[in-house]
Structure 1
Amino acid sequence: MTDFPSSKYERGKIFAKTGLKVGKNYASHYLKTLTGRKSEKADVNKKTAEDVFGEFTNLRGTALKIAQTFSIDQGFLPEEFTEVMTQAQYSVPPINRSLVRSIIRRELGKYPEQIFDEFNSEALAAASIGQVHKARLSNGQPVAIKIQYPGVRDTISSDISLAGSIFKRLAKNGDQFDDYIAEIESTLMKETDYIEEGKSINRFHERFASNGIVTPEWIPELSTERVLTMSFIEGHHLKEFLETDPPQEERNHFGQLLWDFFHQQIRDRSEIHADTHPGNFIFTPDKKLGVVDYGCVKSFPEEFFINYLKLLPVHLQRDEEEIIRLYKELDVLKADPENNKSEKAIYEFCKNYGYTFALPYIEDEFNFGDSEYKRIMAGYTKNAPITNGPRGSKHFIFTTRVHLGLYHFLMKLKAVVNTKQSREIVDEVISEFHNEQKEAYS
């Protein structure tokens, strides 16, 4: 267990130390190339990533959240950097017990043992901006308590500025980098307000707490902006589930629940649970899918959302004229690919990657356990010609996080899912939008 550097001064020193390490690593690499000594760029990328990860793990908070966001195959950091930073989702040390007790006393007015019949001082999970403990109320109800690390919300702006300068150094041609960073900052401000997360929990509970999905229930009287108490969902996360060597039938069952949950959110044209990684889903003993952590909930601008959905049918139809138009609308292409060599390379990559991404929707069911499909998807994310800088609307940060996270989850699960209805949902939503537009202008 570790202490937490909460002051801007303490955090600034760590950021400065990180920036110095990054600069020294690449300066040393350049010097070796000048003197004719061999120095592999992949090695320096990996060393730099490990240095940044080590320091950001101590910082937690915004710094680590940026690392998490950029680790989901965003395509504009070096591959070695992405591989190391993916650890940010799983390797965060918890804060010490005395600090946990003092945070609860400050926020709820009493120490945890005075509020709960039982309180487990060992964290169930520790993430970038907070950690979760299990407790029991006086009526016997088990609850989960999320405790925010001290000073996280107060240091968001300064952390974003300092961390952004480090990441910008690693992402060349990052003309849109500032837009991406601003989007992350805006999302973090909402994610660090646990009252808002509690309200999101309630809204998702009303929408999905049936038909195979189970969600927590918010307990507002034991919650503040920095402490969140909710009902506890029993079950296994993906890693624990796979360790039981489950039969294919169970893999398919849970995979279908996750797939349908994702597409029902599309059908609602409302908020999206925008953090699809294994730690946020629980396989319950009664074969339901538990969906937890509602800090990152997104509502996308309608024009972007519909254009994003349109990518599916136009890739399936191989309608290149419409694909180019959508890529321009979504700011993926900056110029006509026929008249620009670099844009042509980006277009060809995105077109073929988009088609590969659309493959699960071609037939009525798809096997995400297909090793060849997994190999092809990995090949695209590792060999993108757009790794020199962010491309496309800033909203791609979270659509990529959700959609690619879904595919990675299902590939680890090796689930076979029925996709016919989901394909129809996408078509219906697009058609519904166009009908509304016609009525509005008639």
Structure 2
Amino acid sequence: MSLLDMVKEAGIIGAGGAGFPTHAKLASKADYILLNGAECEPLLRVDQQLMEMFPDEIIKGFEAAGRLVNADKAIIGIKGKHKEVIAILQDRIKELQVGDYVEVGLLPDIYPAGDEQVLVYELTGRVVPEVGIPIQVGCVVINSETALNIYHASAGRPVTEKYITIAGDIPNRMTVKVPVGTPIIDVLKLSGIENFDDYAVIDGGPMMGPVMSNLDGFVTKKNKGFVILKKNHPLIRRKTATKEQTKRINRASCEQCRMCTDMCPRFLLGHATQPHKMMRSLMYAANTNAPNDLEAQKVAQLCCQCNLCELFACPIGLYPKAANNFFREKLAEQGLRYKPTKEAFEARSAREHRLVPSKRLIARIGLHDFDKPAPMTDNSLSPLVVKIATRQHVGAPAVPVVSVGEHVQAGQLIGKIPEDSLGAAIHASISGTVTESGNDFIAIRRD
């Protein structure tokens, strides 16, 4: 069986949050394969620890993926501040005798260094086109945990576990490995908090992650971390503002200073996105007699949702990303799509002077006191029941291949990719009996 088939059968998806099926990505041919070890979201600690703990496995998985896409060079992107991890990687690359192919590329400690288009530019100097993807400039990007999963797939091991950081205003900060399908509340309670009535939980990083409306869900292959903060924390108040609130505030207060645009990572890469113009259009939208320039509003679709404009750039705390999203939704309703006017792009000359240091960002969003280690622990969770989502990836949901009452072993295939569809297989994360098998999830009760 080819490595590509092994990756497909193992159900590997992007572990950094997007969830794109990895076998589809590795079916391309590229000049570079890049490992995204930037982990630029504040407080998250998974990737840097995996590279420290499993350097050989990650390097081997990464190299194998690079050979698969015929890449000329494999570059591990990691922030230069992680000196100990870098030394380990460089030593293991030398010992494994892959230094002529795999190298470490140092990234600045900025946000969002982990945005794949920023990563591509920092490591190769190439700029991904507007509404484009890295393969258009000869690059394939995978995450550190994804590379580890590729190594496991080569040994016949599917994805059944997930590494997650638990951080924030909590007694116990840690990174743990849990079975896919574990109740999220069980993971959260490892923080040392039992009653979450006064707390809010961000699913993912504090910049891009949404505040969870309830804590009744189950861990998927995409989960990266949970940031737990008091409900009255300023970041939680901003992230829970309603659409109507953000529209009202934006219309009343925007002074068109352009800071949201001038510091936008995609604008600095030469793209046409200009959130300050979406703020202006939003003010016009309040006036029924104002012009409705849909062509100009299409640039809203270039927003990468990094939230830098709202949580750092705007000097008076407005919501430019929300303005972008307002027009993105309007355009989607009408089936309108932005079309680039050129093929080649160059970063703007001012870019190097407008990069946002991570430490300044962390202080600005009120997380300085919580920016502490979250060490990998042996705290093991053995949930009685897991619920494994059939749709935890980009594409069509997995089709169940097990029935209620059937006994399954950990690692057994329980959901396959639909015929002629983009998707990912899912596997039992524990041994036990199937208690539910439907369109949304498959539940397994432990033996």
TM-score normalised to structure 1 length: 0.26
TM-score normalised to structure 2 length: 0.26
